[in-house]
Amino acid sequence: MRKPADDFCQTDTSWYALLLPPMAQKKLKRFAEIKTFSNVLEYPENMAGNWNAFFRNDKPITLELACGKGEYATGLAQLYPQKNFIGIDIKGNRIWAGAKFSINNNLTNVAFLRTQIEKIDTYFAANEVKEIWITFPDPQLRISKAKKRLVHPRFLRLYQKILQPHGKIHLKTDSPGLYNFTKTVIKLYDLILIADIDDVHKNKNIPQELSIKTHYENLDIAESKKVFYVCFSLPEKIIDADERLDHILKSSNEKQ
Ligand SMILES: C[S@@+](CC[C@H](N)C(=O)[O-])C[C@H]1O[C@@H](n2cnc3c(N)ncnc32)[C@H](O)[C@@H]1O
């Protein structure tokens, strides 16, 4: 007969979970639940080049990087049923919210990928991605963290490996520092600026897609009371790892 103490020896984590604070219990539950969701892939293997097969159609693919709860992936999926959307984030409990919303609302053109953005070129093949949205990423304003900014040339070089020619990159941020840094990068590396709005919600005629609001947009952590939007594309030539430009970027950053 099983004794109650035997349960303590089980690898089943349910009894551990009961000892955790409610927030941590909720996280664990969500981590377990996303493993059962057909629209969430965690560190999958062999997905590069296979996303259209996953969606079972040949619609173009848009990524939302640092998607958190995936408000853009799901919001755009509702606005554009003729496109596929993939939200990417490292935090499973945040992805849970967007994935659950998609299941409840029968959104079949959206999926979520749990991984580090630094590895994005292992999950997508050349030209597999049509557009990229970056929504309220951590601005990483400390100079020592500049390379972690998702619009740093280090990341743009990765995006260039998977984006179609002329593929658009959209950045929405409440951080004036990240907004100015992005514009410096665009100028310095000869990127193609498509749109630049320095106060999205002041503008009455914004496109519908800019009125989608994310969790962090509502928090206004930068306390700027403004939302900045920049849209740009990458030049056809590869953004070389040009040490001279990287050095100029670094010193312009230090002067700000
Ligand atoms: C400030 S939150 C923004 C979330 C969401 N876009 C929003 O606006 O509410 C930044 C998100 O980026 C994710 N993140 C940061 N660095 C990442 C990385 N290198 N790879 C994957 N996700 C990352 C975090 O987990 C977090 O959910």
172-188 residue pLDDT tens: 999 999 999 999 999 99
Q: How far apart are the first and last CA of the chain?
A: 70
What confidence score (pLDDT) does residue 245 get?
79
pLDDT at 256: 64
What pLDDT score was predicted for residue 3? 36
Amino acid 41: pLDDT? 98
**Which region, left, alpha or beta, applies to residue 127 given φ > 0 means left and ψ of -120 to 50 means alpha?**
left
pLDDT score, position 7 = 36
d(CA 47, CA 37): 17
Expressed in angstroms and rounded, the spacing between residue 134 Cα and the centre of ligand 1 is 9
Segment 182-205 shows an average pLDDT of 94
Q: What residue owns the CA closest to ligand 1's atom 16?
A: 66
Helix or strand (DSSP H, E) at 84: strand 84-89
Q: In whole angstroms, what is the distance from residue 162 CA to residue 63 CA? A: 11
Choosing from 64, 89, 152 the residue with most ligand 1 atoms within 8 A of its CB, the one to mutate for a pocket test is 89
Q: Which atom of ligand 1 is nearest to the CA of 94?
A: 27
CA 110/CA 116 separation, integer angstroms: 19
Atom of ligand 1 nearest to the CA of 91: 25
pLDDT above 50 for 243: yes
- Catalogue all structural domains in the chain, each as residue range(s) with its CATH number: 26-255 (3.40.50.150)
- Cα–ligand 1 centroid distance for 6 (angstroms): 40
> Which residues line the pocket of ligand 1, CB cutoff 6 A?
66-68, 89-91, 94, 116-118, 135-138, 214-217
pTM here is: 0.90
Please pick, among 7, 89, 138, 242, the residue that the annotation labels catalytic: 138
Give the span between the Cα atoms of 93 and 89, in whole angstroms.
10
Q: For position 192, what pLDDT does the model report? A: 96
> Strand (E) positions, 90-218?
110-114, 129-135, 163-173, 192-197
Q: Of 186, 172, 256, 147, which is closest to residue 222 (Cα–Cα)?
A: 172
Q: What percent of the chain has pLDDT over 70?
A: 91
pLDDT average, residue stretch 2-17: 47
Give the pLDDT of residue 4: 36
CA of 223 to the centre of ligand 1 (A): 18
Regarding predicted confidence, which is higher, 205 or 67? 67
Instruction: Determine which of 9-18, 76-85, 179-188 has the lowest per-residue pLDDT on average.
Output: 9-18
- What pLDDT score was predicted for residue 232? 98
pLDDT tens digits for 209-237?
999 999 999 898 888 889 999 999 998 87
For strands 163-173 and 84-89, give the pairing. Answer: unpaired
Instruction: Look at residue 47 and tell me whether its pLDDT is greater than 80.
Output: yes
**What is the rounded distance in angstroms from the CA atom of residue 187 to the CA atom of residue 182?**
9
- 138: annotated active-site residue: yes
